[in-house]
Amino acid sequence: MKSDDAELSRFAFLEKAAEDLGAIDAKAIYASQVFVENRVPLKCKTGCMGYGKKLTCPPFVPTADEFRKILSEYRYALLVKFSSSANANPDIICSIYRYWLDPDAPPEKKETADLFWREYLGENKRILLAMLELEKTAFNAGYTLALALTNGSCRLCENCNVENGICVHPTMARIPEHAVGVNMKKTAEGAGMAIKFPVSGNPTPMALLLID
């Protein structure tokens, strides 16, 4: 869905660039339409294996309160939706982590869960590279504080350099939206780009570009 707001129409070039980079949809919105909630990073702490293991994840990134202040300094954002080749089997997806991680899970279900995650997580770098290109495009158009947030935890390194506290890919690594409290489900729904949960068929991961 393209933006029909006169002020936001200036970002049509970014919406087109996103689609040229493989996105299935992109829409410019006001930064005030991005929902940030303190409860979102709590899901990272209570349910994510990446918590504390990556410098782009909590507790190494701005808190939701800190990010809310940062977001208030931006005027615009670009929501970008991608497609994934992974297939969310309805019999597996509702217990996807259990079938993936539990060594005692039924072998056929574990195999299906493994395949889903390999394909889904394999898209992370493609999405990251697309968002970095959009960030550069916005920067070169004069939006010098443009900053990409990406889908899913960073996978540039097999093991993050957490012990030394210094990212070895600082020009490429970007923070996942949910890590700083962005409720992407609510944000996408408000922008008319709803994400379906529970996932069925091919997932549609989303990323966010802050623009100013």
Burial of residue 62 (number of CB atoms within 10 Å: 0-12, 13-18, 19+):
middle
Residue 142 has pLDDT above 70, yes or no: yes
Instruction: Note whether 109 and 92 are within 8 A (CB).
Output: yes
> So where are the chain's domains?
8-84+126-202, 85-122
Per residue in 43-88, pLDDT (tens digit) is: 888 878 789 999 999 999 999 999 999 999 999 999 999 998 888 7
Residue 13 has pLDDT above 80, yes or no: yes
Give the residue-averaged pLDDT of 28-56: 92
Check residue 94 and give its pLDDT. 72
Give the pLDDT band of residue 122 (cuts 50, 70, 90).
confident
Give the residue-averaged pLDDT of 119-124: 83
Closest by CA to 208, choosing from 111, 145, 127, is 127
**H or E, element range at 78:** strand 76-81
Instruction: Note whether 26 and 51 are within 8 A (CB).
Output: no
Residue 28 has pLDDT above 90, yes or no: yes
Check residue 1 and give its pLDDT. 46
Give the pLDDT band of residue 172 (cuts 50, 70, 90).
very high
Provide Rg for the chain, Cα atoms: 17
Bridge-based pairing of strands 76-81 and 25-30 is antiparallel
